[in-house]
Amino acid sequence: MSSVGHVAVERAHGPTWRPSVPFRIVIGFNLAPFSAVIGFVVWVSLPTGGLPGRWFAVLAVPLWLWLVYRAWTLSATLTQDALIVRGLLSAKRIPLIGITAVGFSSHSDGPWAPLSVTAQRRRHVIWAVERNEYVRPDRRLEADEAADAIRAAAALPRS
C-alpha cells in the first residue's frame, strides 16, 4: 500500500495555507459550465423521456454548489508528520518522510504557478498554495514561506 494516504476528514493542527479569496471565487465561477454540462448530460440520458427543464437545474445547481464548497475549502496543512492536502475532489495525507522535492511548477506558462510536492516519485499539485506575480507582495511571500516550511519539515535543503 502506498504511504500517500487518502483521508476523508482529518482535523489537522499546524500551519494552514489557503488560496486567496479572489482565486477561490474565480475557480467557483469556472466550475459552473462543467456542472451545467454534467447536469445536462444526466438530464438528457435519463430514461424517462423528456423531464421538464427544471430537472436540469435540480441536477446541475447542487453539483455546482458542492464543487464551489470544495473550491472554497482548498487547503494545505503541515502537521508534525504529514502534509494534509485538501483538493477539489480529494484529500490526501502525504507523510513528510516520503517527500523528496518541493517547488513551484515549472510547467505553468505565465505568472501563476501552484506548489508542487514530490513524494515517492509521484508529483502532487497543491492548489492551496499558489505563486502569482499579480497579487500583493505579502501573498507571494506567503507562498514562498509555505514551500520553505514544507521543505524544512521534510528535512530537505532550502533552494
Grid cell, residue 52, equals 421538464
Percent of the chain with pLDDT strictly greater than 70: 75
Q: pLDDT tens digit string along 29-72?
A: 999 998 888 877 777 776 665 666 667 777 788 889 999 999 99
Give the alpha-carbon dihedral of 118, 157, 106, 115, to 10 degrees. Answer: 60
| Greater model confidence, 121 or 54 | 121
pTM of the model: 0.74
User: Which comes out higher in pLDDT, residue 139 or 34?
Assistant: 34
pLDDT for 138 beyond 70: no
What would the CATH number be for the domain defined by 5-19+75-153? 2.30.29
CA-to-CA separations, 52 to 10, 38, 39, 59, in angstroms, rounded: 41, 17, 13, 12
- pLDDT value, residue 81: 92
Element (H, E) at 103: strand 99-104
Q: Which of 139, 150, 158 is nearest to 77 (CA)?
A: 150
CB 85 within 8 A of CB 126: yes
With a cut of 90, say whether residue 132 has pLDDT above it.
Answer: no
Q: Please report which confidence band the pLDDT of residue 108 belongs to, taking 50, 70 and 90 as the band edges.
A: low
Q: Write the pLDDT tens digit of every residue in 83-105.
A: 999 988 889 999 999 999 998 87
Where do the domains of the chain lie? Answer: 5-19+75-153, 23-70
